Amino acid sequence: MSRIALSSRMSAGGLLLALAVNVQAGQNIEAGLFDVYQTNRETGRPNLVTPDLLLASYGLIRQQVNTRAETKTMIPEFKALVGGLHRKLAAVKGGEAESLSRDYAILLQAMLTGGLPEKSSEALNKEWQLVQQAGGPAESPLWGTMLDYSQFKPRGRYTQSDEMKRYFIAYRYAGTVNFFAMASQATGVLQARAKQMRQVAFYLSRLIARDAQLLGHYELLQSSMIWEYGPSGDLGVKDMAGATRNFSGSAPGADVLLAYAKKQGRLPQIIDFPLDVAKLNRDEKIPEVALGWRLLPGAQNSNALAVQAVLYPNTQKFNSPCGTLQCVQPRTASMIQGRLSKGYVSAYEVMAWLGSAQAKFRIQQDGEQAFEGYDAAARKAQSSLSADAGLTGAQSAFMRAVFSQTADCDGRQLNGMLGFWTWQQSINMLYTKQVMSPLSKSLSFNPSVQRKGAVLSGTPQFYAELTKLVKLNAEHAQDPAWIKFSEITEHLALLAEGKSPLNDEDEAYLNELDTALLQLTKGRDLPIVVDVQTNPLERRVLEEALGLPEIEELNTARGARFRHYEFKQDMDSRLTNEEWQKQLVNP
């Protein structure tokens, strides 16, 4: 049987060295799960079809569907919105708000086209350089607030072409720059700056709202996001219109926006910018200080809400289970205001909140929950994961159902769900806020090639729950790939019941399943990496990654499972998929 290696306790360097020993550089490195099944075909080995193969296929299909949606809708609409703003503002003359709005449009347009106009202001040129360097937190020359410029490094699927790289940078920038409503020492925004930012936000909102074409592009971008990624977590164009319905000045007061946000339940719950909690006044509350307007606010989904719920200051100091003796050293601890506090959240904690007994044991063993107030915060995190009505909620429900149905004695189930979760974080990366800690039988087969001994791993319940999730995607995306995939998962649910031995037709089906899935995914899986959380105080990010596949064998059948990693990385060296893959093969 397989040797499941969950390696998150090791350092990144240790992971790579250990992997190098296991891989032993050869000409045919099986980089992804599909490669393992291709080797089976070439060597005449029967397939051991694992749940992880189907989970990887789900991720690849969802990524493919989303990329098509981006190409067809998101990118053209975003370009039209930015281009329209750029043209409209080019001829505008006025005060500071108009000038800053014009610079904002020029910068976004330059990000999409690849370069600033020759005659650009010094502040614009400096801002451009910082975005291109993607080095880490710095004060914005344009906005005067702290921005984490490392967020603008293209990653994931957005490194495949120059157009996708430029789209990533521009969209990320449009969703990152926060036009703060209130002044606070904690954000470094003084009264004059806050007023200026409210003026720009009000001016841009009114400009878009009064132009039917611009408003159409904007609304289509916003509506395309909600089910797939989650609702926005900041004030936007419509919020500004609602808050200033009877306002005729150049900038609404902070009190106007705050009153509106409270009444409409629009206070931000996720902090994705550098915030110095030590500088909060006694009367200041973090959601109120964080309140601001963004051109295209990032989604505030349940995963991010759950993570935010357990980070400092929602939990307090670390309490060793052995008293003063530090018998455990949680990897999620960070020194905040002179005390060990919760600076990161492990993917294993998310799995524990979703019902994994293995993950719960793991975090207790490592002391990841040994912080003041953790139990109450974890209950809030669980509630967030249960309340989401969108796709993230449906995927959480799927994982919760899988964990509840069967015992996970060997950790395979947990490992599979970690791989599934990591895939979803990678797909969601551009459109969701990243939490920042304070500082079918119808497929064809070839029966002439006999590979006796094929095996299907996984329970009928697993495939039934996966089918529910796939059909939900099909309802919303209306993409034929989802329909065909649901036919496969339904058939696997029947085979998994195992009421009678597999016949030759069933074995042929399993042996050709990987090729049928490739027709839907349009490509093989490869190792991926995604940064899921930022700690500006330590200048590090938490990375979740999938490495080379873990081989599983049963009798003569051979299959593949995920190999999951979790480690910290310097924030100015956020890894791309290509960099991660290179490290795996050449440590």
Helix segments in 70-190, DSSP class H? 75-90, 96-113, 122-133, 162-176
Dist CA 429 CA 434 (whole Å):
8
Alpha-carbon dihedral angle through residues 575, 579, 585, 587, given to the nearest 10 degrees: -70
Q: If DSSP codes are grouped into helix, strand and coil, which group holds residue 148?
A: strand
- Asked whether the predicted pLDDT for residue 244 surpasses 70, the reply is yes
Pair 439, 275: CB distance under 8 Å: yes
- The number of residues in the chain equals 587
Q: What would the two tokens of residue 454 be?
A: 């094929």
The whole-angstrom separation of Cα 544 and Cα 8 is 9
Of 78-87, 450-459, 552-561, the least confident = 450-459
Does 15 have pLDDT greater than 80? no
pLDDT in the model for residue 392: 94
Cα 114 off chain centre by: 26
Query: What are the backbone angles phi and psi of residue 492, rounded to the nearest 5°?
Result: -65, -35
What values do phi and psi take at 339, rounded to 5? -130, 145
Give me 270's structure tokens.
């996720």
Is residue 219 scored above 70 in pLDDT? yes
Write down the pLDDT at residue 406: 84
CA R_g for the chain: 25
Least confident of 27-31, 236-240, 360-364, 581-585: 27-31
Mean pLDDT score, 44-63: 97
pLDDT at residue 91 tops 90:
no
| CB-side neighbour CA atoms (13 Å) of 307 | 26
72: burial class by Cβ within 10 Å (0-12, 13-18, 19+)? exposed
Q: Is 334 helix (H, G, I), strand (E, B) or coil?
A: strand
Q: Kindly indicate the confidence band of residue 337, based on its pLDDT and cuts at 50, 70 and 90.
A: confident
* Nearest Cα residue to 9 out of 574, 567, 410: 567
Mean pLDDT for all residues in the chain: 89
This prediction's pTM: 0.88
pLDDT digits (tens, 9 = 90+) for 348-403: 999 999 999 999 999 999 999 999 999 999 999 999 998 888 999 999 999 999 99
Q: What is the pLDDT of residue 325?
A: 66
pLDDT at position 26 is: 42
Look at 312-326, 470-484, 507-521 and tell me which has the smallest mean pLDDT: 312-326
- Any idea where the domains of the chain sit in the sequence? 12-61+451-585, 81-300, 304-431
Q: Mean of the pLDDT values across residues 45-56?
A: 97
Q: State the Cα–Cα distance between residues 396 and 306, nearest whole angstrom.
A: 12
The β-bridge relationship of strands 557-561 and 528-535 is unpaired
In the structure encoding, which two tokens stand for residue 337, read together?
Answer: 């205001």
How far is it, in rounded angstroms, from Cα 336 to Cα 74?
Answer: 39
Q: Under 8 Å CB-to-CB from 346, ≥6 apart: which residues?
A: 8, 331, 332, 363, 368, 542, 566
Residue at 275: amino acid letter: L
Rounded Cα distance between 90 and 92, Å, is 6
- Of 526, 537, 527, the closest CA to residue 568 belongs to 537
DSSP state of 541: E
Beta bridge partners of 557: 554
